[in-house]
Amino acid sequence: MDEKKVAIFPASGKLGGSVMKYALKLLPARDVVLIARYPSKIPDDYRNAGATIRAADYDSPETLETVFTEVNILFLISYPTFQHERRTKAHKLAVDFAHKSGVKHIFYTSLAFAGLGDQSVAQVMQAHLDTERYLAKLASEDSSFSYTSIREGLYSESFHMYTAFFSLKQPTSEVLLPHDGSGPGLAWAKIDELGEASASLLVKFYAAPGDFPYRNQILLLSGPREWSLNETVQALGRVAGKEVSIRQVSLDEYASQELVESRLTIGVNKWAKKWATVYDAIRNGETSIVTPLLKELLGREPEDFETTIRAMI
């Protein structure tokens, strides 16, 4: 196959939409395949420019069987669920169908827990670690296949997930967490900048796969500095115009908060306590690692956490 086809799946959502936007500024649209559960949500500009649009859905495995046909490079964005086994299964199916279809390199969007190591106490990271191990196994068994796992920095815009769903528009004076707020902290990163940097990696591989320095590697895209949870909620308070502090509570009290319980319940399954393992990971320093790679790929200093948050008001 002389042509190089690049696929982005799912080409939707905040990160996927950002990767798609920046990749199509630099790649020939005719070489890009955009795959989404709802193809109608993909902007017409991309279709009109010549990009191929296909439909597929993690929750419908049969749609994945042939959707990667003629694709050489796949940018695979992780399936959004807290459910470890379900998420791992979805990723493996997508990887297997891609591999069988002839995809030679997969960029996989992991998460910035575990630093650059291979262990995490955060439940939300377990499916990512499973997927990274699976990709490494495939690469070891098939020398024509390679991967790059991008551990995307914790989204600045997702601060509410780590602050008991604190609201900038209806701020409270206290944030109740099973953590005292002290460091180590989190190296927050802006979603759109993560998408831009990730697209840059994709384009670098497309342009010169033989010179790509990150084959079969795990990369960490972090924000420019570490913020403790105390610093985080103080910044949220400044933006919201209210003094805010953290009060450490028991795991049970944290999980029983109305907003926490409602936002972290899926169907009949209550995930608050499993989600709260992120606080153990933060305490262990898993999310405090700062690397220069995001800055290098952007060619500028990444946006400061508080600047990003202010733009959300």
pLDDT tens per residue, range 39-82: 999 999 999 999 999 999 999 999 999 999 999 999 999 998 88
Residue ranges of the domains in the chain? 6-155+189-221, 158-184+224-288+301-310
Backbone torsions φ then ψ of 256, nearest 5 degrees: -90, -5
pLDDT tens across 141-197, in order? 999 999 999 999 999 999 999 999 999 999 999 999 999 999 999 999 999 999 999
Question: How many CB atoms within 10 Å of residue 274?
Answer: 18
pLDDT for 268: 80
Question: How many CB atoms within 10 Å of residue 136?
Answer: 16
pLDDT for 2: 46
Contact between 87 and 78 under an 8 Å Cβ cutoff? The reply is: yes
Domain topology for 158-184+224-288+301-310: UDP-galactose 4-epimerase; domain 1 (3.90.25)
6-155+189-221 and 158-184+224-288+301-310, same CATH topology: no
Strands 32-36 and 6-9, by their bridges, are parallel
Strands 174-177 and 146-152, by their bridges, are unpaired
Contact between 221 and 283 under an 8 Å Cβ cutoff? The reply is: no
Higher pLDDT, 17 or 269: 17
Tell me what the mean pLDDT of segment 105-123 comes to: 97
**Is 1 a residue whose pLDDT tops 70?**
no
The region, left, alpha or beta by phi > 0 then psi within -120 to 50, assigned to residue 180 is alpha
Q: Max CA-CA distance within the chain?
A: 60
Nearest to 217 by CA among 151, 153, 147, 142: 147
Tell me what the mean pLDDT of segment 21-31 comes to: 96
Helix (H, G, I), strand (E, B), or coil: what is residue 231?
A: helix
Provide CATH code, domain 6-155+189-221: 3.40.50.720
Q: Which amino acid is at 143?
A: S
At residue 191's C-alpha, the angle toward residues 291 and 92, to 5°, is: 85
pLDDT for 3: 63
- Using a pLDDT cut of 90, give the percent of the chain over it: 94
String of DSSP letters for 158-227: GHHHHTTT--SSS--SEEEESS-SPSS-B--B-HHHHHHHHHHHHHHHHH-GGG-TTTTEEEEE--SS-B
Alpha carbons 32 and 21: distance in angstroms, whole number: 12
The region, left, alpha or beta by phi > 0 then psi within -120 to 50, assigned to residue 167 is beta
Residue 106, both tokens:
């997969």
pLDDT tens across 213-264, in order? 999 999 999 999 999 999 999 999 999 999 999 999 999 999 999 999 999 9
Helix (H, G, I), strand (E, B), or coil: what is residue 270?
A: strand
Alpha carbons 283 and 255: distance in angstroms, whole number: 18
Alpha carbons 174 and 7: distance in angstroms, whole number: 44
Alpha carbons 277 and 266: distance in angstroms, whole number: 17
Beta strand extents in 68-145 (DSSP E only) = 73-77, 105-111
Residue for token pair 């439940």: 123
Helix (H, G, I), strand (E, B), or coil: what is residue 223?
A: coil
Residue 210, both tokens:
């033989």
Alpha carbons 131 and 92: distance in angstroms, whole number: 7
